[in-house]
A and B are shown apart, each in its own frame.
Chain A
Amino acid sequence: MTTCDQKDLFTYVLRLGDSGLVLGQRLSEWVGKAPMLEEEMALANMALDMVGQARNFLSYAGEVEGRGRGEDALAMHRDVGSFSNLLLVEQPNRDFAYTMVRQYFYASFAERLFEQLQHSADSRLAGIAAKAVKECRYHARHSGLWLVRLGDGTEESHQRVARALEDLWPYTGELFEMDEVDRRLLEAGVAADVQAMRTEWREALNQVLVEARLPLPSDEIWMHSGGRIGRHSEHLGHLLATMQILPRSYPDANW
């Protein structure tokens, strides 16, 4: 147990859990309709990794909160306004290019985030991060390879991935935001310094985009913000409705 504000720690861990959960749910929407069997399995594997990470974070968040809410209560019995995931991960799949761009943006970021969190002063957080970092590294490699293939592929695949890049780019600013909670926890040695990761993340992205024959978008544009404090796009409500309907309709359902 570390010496930091438990409310801060709850907020911090919940944010990590929510982003994992929402991205996992999004990826799982591909099951049954991926472009090919091989990719269907890859997407399902990634979805399971994300949900697994979310379970670890949400269980821990529940314990930190100390109000008897477990992973299921936090995942299934909260409304849109209480979710604190990044806006990027709630964006719809639209097409395969969108899904891969979104995945690369998040995984390449999460890989760096968890690399640092492995050394967090909070040993529980460090343990979860140590497991998650390997998964995110694989996700970044898989989606990065697809960006190259799509960008350097056919005329249509190039157009689609270019559009996805442009549309999703304004959601990347939020990845590197830090508020008071982050700063206090960073000082306590618990949180990671995401602001400091931006240059490296951008450089890694640029290497992929050069190979994919795609331009690196400019940071000098307006960026969306607010997911981390519960202000979401319209898409999250629909996602939660699908995800939560069963446990909400049958609160004691068991299987």
Chain B
Amino acid sequence: MQERELPLWEVFIRSRTGLNHRHVGSLHAADAAMAIQNARDLYCRRQEGIGIWVVESAAIHASDPADKDALFDPAEDKIYRHPTFYDVPDGVENI
């Protein structure tokens, strides 16, 4: 359709109830202002959010799927890292 595609942006929306911005998808836009406008039109049609972040997709550095084993498998047998080995006294509501 377009001869030159506009840059891709990743969109993060802060929901009405949630605390964190959450990744919801991506879109094309010429710059940040247009990306926020497009995010409003694409991802906030049903009152999904009260805040928008956009980041140029090119600015995101991702881990290599091929490194999956080296990166994530070593954690597999370290169950002691999970906070499940404590006795929580009955009277404590939040920890």
Contacts and interface: CB of A to CB of B under 8 A. Distances in A.
A35 B37 CA distance: 16
Interface residues of B, number: 15
Nearest to A44: B41
A42 B40 CA distance: 9
Most buried by A among B1, B38, B41, B42: B41
B28 interface: yes
Contacts of A42: 37-38, 41
B2 interface: yes
Given A142-B37, A145-B34, A145-B37, A38 B42 contact: yes
A107 to B, nearest CB: 14
B41 A35 contact: no
Nearest to B44: A45
B55 interface: no
A38 B27 contact: yes
B1 A38 contact: no
Interface string A81-104: 000000000000000000000000
A211 to B, nearest CB: 12
A145 B2 contact: no
B37 A36 contact: no
B27 A145 contact: no
Interface in A135-168: 138, 141-142, 145, 149
Interface of A is mostly: helix
A41 interface: yes
Contacts of A141: 37
Contacts, number: 31
Given A42-B37, A42-B41, A145-B34, A35 B29 contact: no
B41 A145 contact: no
B71 interface: no
Nearest to A153: B30
Contacts of B28: 36-38
Contacts of A142: 37
Contacts of A37: 28
A47 to B, nearest CB: 12
11 contacts: A35-B1, A35-B2, A36-B6, A36-B28, A38-B27, A38-B29, A41-B38, A45-B41, A142-B37, A145-B33, A145-B34
Interface of A: 35-39, 41-42, 45, 138, 141-142, 145, 149
Interface of B: 1-2, 6, 27-30, 33-34, 37-38, 40-42, 45
